């Protein structure tokens, strides 16, 4: 399967991706995780991306299209992929169609994580992540077994620099202005599925499974 996950910051894309990935043997390509890795490693890409990310603005289309083009060539993506946080502009969506067109493939399904803005601040400010695996926790909704510690590795958890109420405002602004048109783009192509993503995490998983098995 070739899937795209779209939704505002904190809508649950990164929470559901590992489950879908295991169910269908897909690779999980999260542009946000890849960019944060590049920023931490201070690569040329990370240096270019950092300023926009810190402000909650989108990184340029060329940069993210480049990293996705490269990442999709990985052998683990042979059976298909989950794009988490990409495409986020109509230009990115068109470039993606172009890349897939060259391989004679296309996107099968786009999952739209529909959540009202009002509940996102609590989700974002309570999030703790394990940077190297991308696993995320929430102090109230998905607490780790030991506070501040990753369940699997025992590594310390951290909070994302952009997970503040102020930066969330500009991330949401970017979502409404630049990413919502991508939802219409896929609706017109007939591949869009809307998910009620305000439900508790396990119920969202059930909804995802329903959409993917239909």
**Parallel/antiparallel/unpaired status of strands 109-114 and 2-6:** parallel
**Binder among 29, 171, 195, 207 for ligand AP5 (CB under 6 A):** 171
**Binder among 2, 4, 32, 81 for ligand AP5 (CB under 6 A):** 32
**C-alpha separations of 14 from 106, 126, 181, 185, 214 in Å:** 22, 15, 21, 22, 22
**Shortest Å distance, C-beta 97 to ligand AP5:** 15
- Closest CB to ligand AP5 among 104 and 119? 119
Q: Are 51 and 151 in contact (CB under 8 A)?
A: no
Binding to ligand AP5 by residue 7, rule CB under 6 A? yes
For residue 128, cis peptide bond before it (omega within 30 degrees of 0): no
Stretch that binds ligand AP5, among 19-27, 31-39, 93-101, 148-156 (CB under 6 A): 31-39
**Binder among 2, 4, 6, 11 for ligand AP5 (CB under 6 A):** 11
Binding to ligand AP5 by residue 144, rule CB under 6 A? no
Binding to Zn ion by residue 10, rule CB under 5 A? no
**Shortest Å distance, C-beta 142 to ligand AP5:** 4
How far separated are the first and last CA of the chain, in Å rounded? 13
Let me know if 160 is a catalytic residue: yes
Residue nearest to ligand AP5 (CB): 32
Residue 96 burial class via C-beta count within 10 angstroms: exposed 0-12, middle 13-18, buried 19 and up = buried
Binding to ligand AP5 by residue 134, rule CB under 6 A? no
Q: Which does 46 bind (CB under 5 to 8 A by kind): Zn ion, ligand AP5, none?
A: none
Let me know if 88 is a catalytic residue: yes
Number of residues that bind ligand AP5 (CB under 6 A): 34
3-state secondary structure of 6: strand
Q: Are 41 and 52 in contact (CB under 8 A)?
A: no
**Binder among 39, 58, 192, 195 for ligand AP5 (CB under 6 A):** 58
Let me know if 171 is a catalytic residue: yes
Per-residue exposure over 37-64, b if at least 16 CB sit within 10 Å of its own CB, e if not:
bbbeeeeebbebbbebbeebebbebebb
**Binder among 81, 96, 137, 185 for ligand AP5 (CB under 6 A):** 137
User: How far is residue 101's CA from residue 98's CA, in Å, rounded to a whole number?
Assistant: 5
């Amino acid at each position: 399967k070739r899937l795209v996950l779209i939704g505002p910051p904190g809508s649950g894309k990164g929470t559901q991706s590992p489950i879908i990935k295991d169910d269908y043997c897909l690779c999980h390509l999260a542009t946000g995780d890849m960019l944060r890795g590049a920023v931490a490693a201070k690569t040329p890409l990370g240096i270019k991306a950092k300023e926009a990310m810190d402000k909650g603005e989108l990184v340029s289309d060329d940069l993210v299209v480049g990293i996705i083009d490269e990442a999709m060539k990985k052998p683990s993506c042979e059976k298909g992929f989950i794009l988490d946080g990409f495409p986020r502009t109509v230009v990115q969506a068109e470039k993606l169609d172009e890349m897939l067109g060259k391989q004679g493939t296309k996107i099968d399904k786009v999952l739209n994580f529909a959540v009202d803005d009002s509940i996102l601040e609590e989700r974002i400010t309570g999030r703790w992540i394990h940077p190297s695996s991308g696993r995320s926790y929430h102090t109230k909704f998905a607490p780790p077994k030991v506070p501040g510690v990753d369940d699997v590795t025992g590594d310390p958890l951290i909070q994302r620099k952009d997970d503040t109420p102020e930066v969330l405002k500009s991330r949401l602004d970017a979502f409404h202005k630049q990413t919502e048109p991508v939802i219409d783009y896929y609706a017109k192509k007939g591949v869009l599925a809307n998910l009620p993503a305000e439900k508790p995490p396990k119920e969202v998983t059930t909804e995802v499974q329903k959409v993917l098995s239909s």
